[in-house]
Structure 1
Amino acid sequence: MTRRPLHRLIPCLLVLLLSACAAGPRFYTHAMPDVDFGAYRTFGWPEQLGTDRGGYETSVTQYFKVAARREMEALGYRYAEENPDLLVNFYTNIEDKERTYRRTTIAPTLATGYYGYRFGMYTVWPVYATEVEHFHYQVGTANIDVVDAAERRLIWEGRVEGRLTDRALNDPAGAISDAVADIFQRFPTHAR
């Protein structure tokens, strides 16, 4: 009688275990240890942002600016067009990836010819087949650099990388907004 509840529990535990192993975005941050982030009051953008192309501001740059400004202001910094204490820069990269999975399975056999009398009952030796599946996907990386404007020195870097979903590709503004918010959750806090 105690086996029945255990049989019901095992599939639930397996689902939880597999969902815990699911790959999500990976975050990386690095802050210079000697920096007092509370000493800075204002932020702005460098003249040429990493997401700009061909001498013009891209829509990706505009999405990053809106999201980064929201996050920096939430941290207590003020936006300044001229002479900001900090410069916030962005960079993105998309890389095409391919993953191949191979599975060996036992293929059904049909007994013919001399061995036709076995048809449908049994086989003497197994026949193996290899199934190959190719998956193509894209991995995106977004970097945010925070630079001490006076010293021209990188003081904090936040990066996220992960598989690009259909939502991210169809709604880049929303995906960038979410990614920037997640990256800035790891920003060193300071006294406001």
Structure 2
Amino acid sequence: MNAFRQLFPAAVAALLLSGCASVPDIKTDYNPATDFSAYRTFGFVERPGTDRAGYESLTTQYFKTAVQRELGARGYRYAAQSPDLLVNFNARLQEKVEVSPAPAPMMGYYGYRGGLYAPWPGYGFYNDVYRYTEGTVNIDLVDRRQMKLVWEGVAVGSVDTSDKASAQQRIDKTVAQIFAKYPFRVGQ
């Protein structure tokens, strides 16, 4: 059970970020009344959403490294004590099912006879069921003084479990995609 608790957060993020089968849908939002030019430093919340077992997981370490790289590239400086912005992140997986009704092969649509001439007209349908795993990554920037969310980035995508890239590579890629939509730089 203890091994499960240790490996679960890393496994979740690894699956979550395992190179989405499709390009992840990235959405961002921010408070337009916020003066982002006033922010110069960032730090991390005491217990990020990826830490559930009471210690810092590998997943959390990968996220911190990726966030430090992305915010550093925008001119922000890491400060462990009294930063302007606090960063939180979370990752989760959710099983999804899509059901699409489709005409059955060789069956006509209502009022028409099918390809092999069924004895009566009518609907010939079957359900196409598609099961997949959806991954979601949230990154929040919080004004430390006011304790209010000022920017949020979310990536949602279908998870491709056959991707052999390392968990750290997948996290780096997803975090970079989210911050590509972050329009602010230090002093601007």
Give the TM interval when normalised to the shorter protein: 0.7 to 0.9
Match of 2:179 among 147, 170, 184: 184
Residue type at the aligned position of 1:105: P
Does the 8 Å CA contact 2:39/2:186 hold for their aligned counterparts?
Answer: no
Partner of 1:51: 50
1:100 aligned partner: 99
Residue 139 of structure 1 corresponds to 134
Alpha-carbon distance in structure 1 between the residues aligned to 2:95 and 2:164: 13
TM-score by length of structure 1 reads 0.72
Structure 1 or 2, whichever has the larger Rg, is: 1
Aligned to 1:161: 156
Paired residues for 1:110-149 under 5 Å: 125-126=117-118, 132-149=127-144
Larger displacement relative to structure 2 (126-135 or 152-161): 126-135
Larger RCO: Structure 1 or Structure 2 (Cα < 8 Å, ≥ 6 residues apart)? 2
Distance in 2 of aligned mates of 1:105 and 1:56: 55
2:137 paired with 1:174: no
Partners in 1 of 2:155 and 2:57 — Cα distance?
Answer: 20
Where does structure 2 lack aligned partners over 5 or more consecutive residues? 1-20, 108-114
Select the structure that is richer in helix.
1
Shift of residue 169 of structure 1?
Answer: 7.6
Shift of the 82–167 alpha-carbon distance from structure 1 to 2, 3 Å rule, reads farther
Report the more deviating stretch, 162-171 or 141-150. Answer: 162-171
Report how far residue 129 of structure 1 moved.
6.6
Question: How far off is 1:190 after superposition?
Answer: 3.0
Alignment of structure 1 residues 17-36 onto 2, 5 Å? 24-36=23-35
Q: Summarize the alignment of residues 6-17 of structure 1 with structure 2, pairs less than 5 Å apart.
A: none
Aligned mates of 1:155, 1:92 — CA distance in 2: 19
Aligned-residue sequence identity (percent) comes to 40
Is the contact made by 2:134 and 2:156 (CA closer than 8 Å) also made in structure 1?
A: yes
Q: Residue 166 of structure 1 aligns to a residue in which SS? A: coil
Check if 1:64 corresponds to 2:59: no
Runs of 4+ in 1 over 6 A off after TM superposition: none
- The letter of the residue matching 1:36 is D
C-alpha root-mean-square deviation of aligned residues, in Å? 2.5
Contact in 2 for aligned 1:168/1:175 (Cα 8 Å): no
Asked if structure 2 preserves the Cα contact closer than 8 Å seen for 1:37 and 1:188, the reply is no
Which AA in structure 2 matches 1:178? K
Aligned to 1:78: 77
- State how far apart, in whole Å, the 1-side matches of 2:163 and 2:48 are: 21
Quick one: which amino acid aligns to residue 149 of structure 1? Answer: R
Q: Using the TM superposition, give the Cα deviation of residue 42 of structure 1 relative to its aligned residue in structure 2, in angstroms.
A: 0.8
